[in-house]
Amino acid sequence: MKKDVWLTLICGLSTASGFLLDITGVASDQTVVFFYIVAYMSGGWPGLKATIEDLRNYQINIDFLMIAAAAGAAVINLWLEGAILLFLFSLSGTLENFALDRSRTAINSLMNLRPSQGLVRHPDGQEELIEVEALRPGQIVIVKPGEHIPIDGRIVRGQSQVNQATITGESVPVDRGPGDSVFAATLNEQGVIELEVARRAKDTTLARIIELVEQAQQSKAPTQRFLERFEPVYALSVVGAVILLVLIPWLILDQPFDPVFYRGMTVLVVASPCALIISTPASIISAIANAARNGVLFKGGTHLEQVNSIDTIAFDKTGTLTHGLPVVTDIWTLGMGNGAGHGADEAGDTGTGGGGTGAGSGEVDNSDTPAAAYGSDGSRSNGNGAGEISGKELLAMAAGCERYSEHHVAEAILRKASQEGVDPVEVENLQASPGRGISARWNGTTLAVGNEKLFDDVIDSWPERLFTMAEQLKAEGKTVIYVARDNQPMGLIALADQLRPSAVTTLKELRKTGIRRMVMLTGDNPGVARAIAEPLDLDEVHAGLLPEEKLKMISRLKKEGLTAMVGDGVNDAPALAESDLGIAMGAVGTDVALETADVVLMGDDLTRLPYMIRLSQKAKRIVWQNIVFSLVVILVLLAGVFLVDLPLTLGVVGHEGSTLIVVMNGLRLLRTGTVDSLPA
C-alpha pair distances (Å), 622 with each of 185, 279, 625, 630: 32, 9, 5, 12
- The answer to whether 171 and 165 have CB atoms below 8 angstroms apart is yes
Which one of the listed residues 22, 54, 152, 316 is annotated catalytic? 316
Q: What is the DSSP string of 130-186?
A: EEGGG--TT-EEEE-TTPBP-S-EEEEE--EEEE-HHHH--SS-EEE-TT-EE-TT-
- The answer to whether 178 and 198 have CB atoms below 8 angstroms apart is no
Using CB atoms within 10 Å of the CB of residue 224, give its burial: 0 to 12 exposed, 13 to 18 middle, 19+ buried: buried
Sign of the dihedral defined by the CA atoms of residues 528, 531, 536, 537, in that order? positive
539 annotated active-site: no
> How far apart (Å, rounded) are the C-alpha atoms in residues 402 and 391?
16
State how beta strands 322-333 and 312-316 pair. unpaired
Q: According to the 3-state scheme, what is the secondary structure of 483-551?
A: EEECCEEEEEEEEEEEECCCHHHHHHHHHHCCCCEEEEECCCCHHHHHHHHHHHCCCEEECCCCHHHHH
Strands (E) located in 346-502? 380-381, 387-388, 428-433, 437-442, 445-450, 479-485, 488-499
> How far apart (Å, rounded) are the C-alpha atoms in residues 163 and 191?
13
As annotated, the active-site residues are 316
